[in-house]
Amino acid sequence: MKIIVQKYGGTSVENIEKIKKVAKKVIAKKEEGFQMVVVVSAMGKTTDALIDLSKEISSNPSKRDLDMLLSTGEQVSISLLSMAFQEYGYESISLTGFQAGIKTKGPYNKNKISDIDINKIKDNLEKGKIVVVAGFQGINEEGDITTLGRGGSDTTAVALSAKLNSLCCIYTDVEGIYSVDPRIYKDAKKLASISYEEMMEMASLGAGVMETRAVEIGCKYKVPIYVASSSKDIGGTYIKERDKSMEEKVITGLSISSDILMVTVNNLVFNSDNIATLFEKVAKENINVDMISQTSPMDEKVNVSFTTSKDELNALNKVMKEIKDENNEIEVVIEENISKISVVGIGMMNQSGVTAQVFRILADNNIEFKQVTTSEISISYTVASSDREKAVQILAKELNL
Amino acid sequence: MKIIVQKYGGTSVENIEKIKKVAKKVIAKKEEGFQMVVVVSAMGKTTDALIDLSKEISSNPSKRDLDMLLSTGEQVSISLLSMAFQEYGYESISLTGFQAGIKTKGPYNKNKISDIDINKIKDNLEKGKIVVVAGFQGINEEGDITTLGRGGSDTTAVALSAKLNSLCCIYTDVEGIYSVDPRIYKDAKKLASISYEEMMEMASLGAGVMETRAVEIGCKYKVPIYVASSSKDIGGTYIKERDKSMEEKVITGLSISSDILMVTVNNLVFNSDNIATLFEKVAKENINVDMISQTSPMDEKVNVSFTTSKDELNALNKVMKEIKDENNEIEVVIEENISKISVVGIGMMNQSGVTAQVFRILADNNIEFKQVTTSEISISYTVASSDREKAVQILAKELNL
């Protein structure tokens, strides 16, 4: 019998009424003859509320305890959803991350799935039960409850699909993947399909629909992923291996990220050891660095800039204090109102001129960018957040997205 | 180094401010040189709120899922309390029931602790950490998260103390054990000490301070238990092995239980098999039966009455429907407004006349009782709840409690 993994995010299970709707949607699919695994996130804003609660105790709470705290959110949803199935006359079993065999490693709050022991899930599917799995969480080698970071429920769903050889359906509050975030550009087009590579770029560049890591796992294990609305019954977007039709299109989408910080370290004595040390210190605090740029040396000194997520502000301040304490000539500037705009498309690999075209559009419209980075299939610019709106409208229009 | 286990109930950790107070209280004891284990319940009314949530899905939710749901309550408290310790500069570790090695068996929602693997707790105590354990929960042989029923956090604390050879301090919203519930009889006296046996009788007869099972474990493993106020710094009550001084007192206390149902099954054909079958059916639904009485057979038929907790109403209705379906001559009456009043005292073992004295007091004051049961150290009466207040006032006064 074929297995389907469905994942429902926090908005889709934010209250009892919605949980019941999810149950009915899953049951409809089961009635078509599929074995069903359902991955759920915490109800609505539960995770944020729990984080707020922890902040009342400490501005920088223990990360192990934070994982312990946050993981309760999904445990509540799985038990309620499982109750709903039983209320409708279907057998089900709710499983926390550790019960579902999800083993993780890495730093707390940002663990990665290292393996899944799929036996318990398979046994229960064989018994005809709907299996309800807590997203976002697992257990590490020390037996600690861990979480996978924001968007971690997607990762759980895709990783389970990989192990179960199944389709992975991500039901969410958007209707699929758009060329541009429709909240920002209202004429954005919904894509019928997108390649893993493009989606990874889009995700890592800020398109809020799916976490990069989840798509990465999908790509690695060739898991077909379907992203669609949890409330409306209309077609969504398939994320799959790239095919010819996709390559004809030069640019697939525009991705916008507003939650970023730009850090500039001025007057750093120029030698590679110095710069390596800087980033080692940053890495030690588990801060993910995104774009890096460096000025040419002048008087044997350089300025190094990098971007990171706003969430890292606490950790970042700590590292920067250390660095300044060691060398008081160094000056650190942290800019908070920075946005990143990225143009993504597999077609860019085989077609030159896109970079030039984008530079031209920005220049003609007096939009100043602070940093540029490029990959095989994307170009990213950081701009002042005040220029974001304008830049998106113009780029989306000019590139026909 | 000496270990102390402290347990704080839901009221003591109902908000962040109170959690911080608990942390300080534990730290003060640690500073005296003790290794500290802290058992906590869910914050305030969390457990009730979770039960209400489940009722929105089903009037009779799956018990396995209910355990899954309820256990999140303590998981939230342990993580927050552990964060508080770290905020105050003390190393700590939060452990769920399964992480703390608490193995259970039995029916969901009413599991019993079968064993505790104490190694993880011991290791962490040796490392100087304060160990914070989720009360009320454990894990069964199938790897399901289980709960120990109401008051289960006391059981966790006493069972841990038994394994760790430690004093067990139960901090609660009352100041100790009273001869009579002070909310009902304002002149009640606080006891400096009480024997395990008396406390078990008091607890099982409805004195809300501690669960019978917790005291039972304390008695079995000779764990010294100290019950005191979590907010006020005044002396509490020791529960310990009985000594001479206790035996001098004939009656130690009065225990009142209002949450009971009385079920009467009329027109049951009198043979022992019939009656055994009745109670087998009741037992199959995990309904705890308390007092049982039976009329003399008349026309080969008898009436059987028994009392049970109000919580069992759902399960009870189910069993009674079955019984009536099998024999439509049978009539079932469920009375909901019943209270039980019990007189408890170790001294009663060696002194006759207490029963007569109590009957006389009730008769002189026109208080009708429905059932009477006696044990070596207690006498219990069920009365209409409307008579409860009057009966308690008169008995407490006449017996000088």
Task: With beta carbons less than 8 A apart as the criterion, state whether B91 and B129 touch.
Answer: yes
Lowest average pLDDT, out of A182-186, A264-268, B341-345, goes to A182-186
Per-residue pLDDT of chain B (401 residues; tens, 9 = 90+): 799 999 999 999 999 999 999 999 999 999 999 999 999 999 999 999 999 999 999 999 999 999 999 999 999 999 999 999 999 999 999 999 999 999 999 999 999 999 999 999 999 999 999 999 999 999 999 999 999 987 899 999 999 999 999 999 999 888 888 888 888 888 888 889 999 988 888 876 655 678 888 999 999 999 999 999 988 888 899 999 987 776 667 788 888 888 889 999 988 887 778 888 888 888 888 888 888 877 777 788 888 888 898 888 888 999 899 888 888 888 899 999 899 888 888 777 766 677 778 888 888 898 888 888 877 788 888 899 999 989 999 999 888 88
Please report the pLDDT score of residue A354 as a whole number: 78
Please report the pLDDT score of residue A206 as a whole number: 57
**Of B197, B244, B195, which is closest to residue B377 (Cα–Cα)?**
B197
Domain membership flag for residue B226: no
Contacts of A69 in chain B (CB under 8 A): 75-76, 79-80, 83
Contacts of B64 in chain A (CB under 8 A): 93-94
* Overall average pLDDT of the A170-194 stretch: 87
Q: How far apart are CA A302 and CA A306, in angstroms?
A: 13
Domain membership flag for residue B199: no
With 90 as the cut, is the pLDDT of residue A245 above it? no
Q: In this complex, is the C-beta atom of B18 within 8 Å of any C-beta atom belonging to chain A?
A: no
Chain B, nearest residue to A67 by Cα: B79
CB contact under 8 A, A83 and B54: yes
Q: How far apart are CA A332 and CA A4, in angstroms?
A: 50
Q: How far apart are CA B173 and CA B45, in angstroms?
A: 14
Task: Assign residue A136 a region (left: φ > 0; alpha: ψ between -120 and 50; beta: otherwise).
Answer: left
Domain membership flag for residue A135: yes
Q: Are residues A164 and A305 in the same domain?
A: no
Please report the pLDDT score of residue A350 as a whole number: 66
Chain A, nearest residue to B94 by Cα: A65
Contacts of B83 in chain A (CB under 8 A): 54, 57-58, 61-62, 65-66, 69
Per-residue DSSP letter, A121: H
Backbone angles phi, psi at B376, to 5 degrees: -55, -35
Q: In this complex, is the C-beta atom of B82 within 8 Å of any C-beta atom belonging to chain A?
A: yes
End-to-end CA distance of chain A: 40
Domain membership flag for residue B124: yes
Domain membership flag for residue B370: yes
Bigger pLDDT: B224 vs A185 = B224
Three-state DSSP at A129 gives coil
* CA dist list (Å): B314 to A125, B61, B307, B319, B341: 31, 11, 15, 9, 25
- Find the CB nearest B65 among A53, A65, A79: A79
Domain membership flag for residue A214: no
**Of A279, A294, A22, A295, which is closest to residue A173 (Cα–Cα)?**
A22
Domain membership flag for residue B211: no
Q: Are residues B169 and B295 in the same domain?
A: no
Task: With beta carbons less than 8 A apart as the criterion, state whether A168 and A7 touch.
Answer: yes
Residue A201 banded pLDDT, cuts 50, 70, 90: confident
Domain residues for B100?
3-173
Q: Are residues A56 and A150 in the same domain?
A: yes
Which ipTM was obtained for this model? 0.78
Q: In this complex, is the C-beta atom of B93 within 8 Å of any C-beta atom belonging to chain A?
A: yes
With 70 as the cut, is the pLDDT of residue A208 above it? no
Q: Are residues B152 and B260 in the same domain?
A: no
Residue A28 tokens, joined: 């409809």
Per-residue DSSP letter, B110: S
Q: Are residues A162 and A261 in the same domain?
A: no
Q: Show which of A120, A138, A173 is a domain's final residue.
A: A173
Q: How many domains does chain B have?
A: 2
Domain membership flag for residue B214: no
Three-state DSSP at B264 gives strand
To the nearest whole Å, the CA of B226 is away from the closest chain A CA by: 29
- Find the CB nearest A68 among B19, B69, B94: B94
Q: Show which of B156, B173, B190 is a domain's final residue.
A: B173
CB contact under 8 A, A16 and B56: yes
CB contact under 8 A, B83 and A62: yes
Q: Are residues A151 and A297 in the same domain?
A: no
Q: Is the pTM of this model over 0.90?
A: no
Residue A247 banded pLDDT, cuts 50, 70, 90: low
* CA dist list (Å): A354 to A229, B88, B294: 32, 56, 92
**Residue type (1 letter), A319:** V
Mean pLDDT in chain A? 90
Q: Are residues A53 and A154 in the same domain?
A: yes
Q: In this complex, is the C-beta atom of B91 within 8 Å of any C-beta atom belonging to chain A?
A: no
Q: Position of tokens 């304002």?
A: B186
**Residue type (1 letter), B175:** E
Q: How far apart are CA A23 and CA B314, in angstroms?
A: 25
Q: Show which of A147, A173, A199 is a domain's final residue.
A: A173
Q: How far apart are CA B100 and CA B351, in angstroms?
A: 46
Q: In this complex, is the C-beta atom of A121 within 8 Å of any C-beta atom belonging to chain B?
A: no
- CATH value at residue A145: 3.40.1160.10
CB contact under 8 A, A79 and B58: no
Give the 3-state DSSP-derived string for A207-227, with helices as H, strands as E and coil as C.
Answer: CCCCCHHHHHHHHHHCCCEEE
Contacts of B69 in chain A (CB under 8 A): 75-76, 79-80, 83
Residue A263 tokens, joined: 């850090």
To the nearest whole Å, the CA of B45 is away from the closest chain A CA by: 16
